[in-house]
Chains A and B, each alone.
Chain A
Amino acid sequence: AQSVTQLDSQVPVFEEAPVELRCNYSSSVSVYLFWYVQYPNQGLQLLLKYLSGSTLVESINGFEAEFNKSQTSFHLRKPSVHISDTAEYFCAVTVSGGYNKLIFGAGTRLAVHP
């Protein structure tokens, strides 16, 4: 079975500073990895995904994540955060095949301060 561990429940950071949100997964088979973002009182939105190919994936708003198979990690990074990035971020994993399901980590609350 797959599982996801997000190592930090909360990450406070000042505006324009870099940030890294950590995610580790466990699985006995090949995985697909995702980062979702949840703004207050909203549903989850896909931020970026790793399916195959290049291990570095990017989102349209400046976030990037790198798939590291040897370390079973998929950490999320942004070189300079904005106040508007304040949200909860969830790492998720699934496997190939029709009857698969998305398993989420516990989430990391990113708080960007002015």
Chain B
Amino acid sequence: DAGVIQSPRHEVTEMGQEVTLRCKPISGHDYLFWYRQTMMRGLELLIYFNNNVPIDDSGMPEDRFSAKMPNASFSTLKIQPSEPRDSAVYFCASRPGALPYGYTFGSGTRLTVV
């Protein structure tokens, strides 16, 4: 298995533009998580899905952020409009079933909003 695949690896965009980050989880993993990593706030859980259904989006910072999982093999995190304070590394992770372990993280997308 190729692991959790995120794209793009790097994204530089101008303030006000729409940004879409993509994630392909490991096949068979029922849970998908989006995390954001910044120097100031560390690793924050933004949202997670179970069987493509959003379970907890309490970590989503603002209405400018939205996430979808249209099928078991694809998820997106969208920021519209983007702001400089959104600059961070965004990680996607997936996990099989109800077990508390087995998380696999992607390599992350480094987002820079100028």
Contact = CB atoms under 8 A, between A and B. Distances in A.
A113 interface: no
Contact of B100 (A44, A95, A105): A95
Q: Is the interface of B mostly helix, strand, loop or mixed?
A: strand
B42 A102 contact: no
B101 A42 contact: no
Interface in B10-59: 33, 35, 42-43, 45, 48, 50, 55-56
Contacts of A95: 100
A94 B103 CA distance: 11
Nearest to B101: A49
Given A43-B105, A44-B91, A105 B98 contact: no
B50 A98 contact: yes
Interface residues of B, number: 21
B91 A104 contact: no
A101 B94 CA distance: 11
A46 B103 contact: yes
Given A99-B55, A102-B33, A44 B42 contact: no
B42 A43 contact: no
Given A42-B107, A101-B48, A101-B56, A34 B101 contact: yes
B43 A107 contact: yes
Contact of B42 (A42, A94, A101, A106): A106
Nearest to A104: B43
B56 A99 contact: yes
Interface of B: 4, 33, 35, 42-43, 45, 48, 50, 55-56, 91, 93, 97-98, 100-101, 103, 105-108
20 contacts: A32-B101, A42-B107, A43-B108, A44-B93, A44-B105, A46-B103, A49-B101, A51-B101, A94-B100, A95-B100, A98-B50, A98-B97, A98-B98, A99-B55, A99-B56, A101-B33, A101-B56, A104-B35, A104-B42, A106-B42
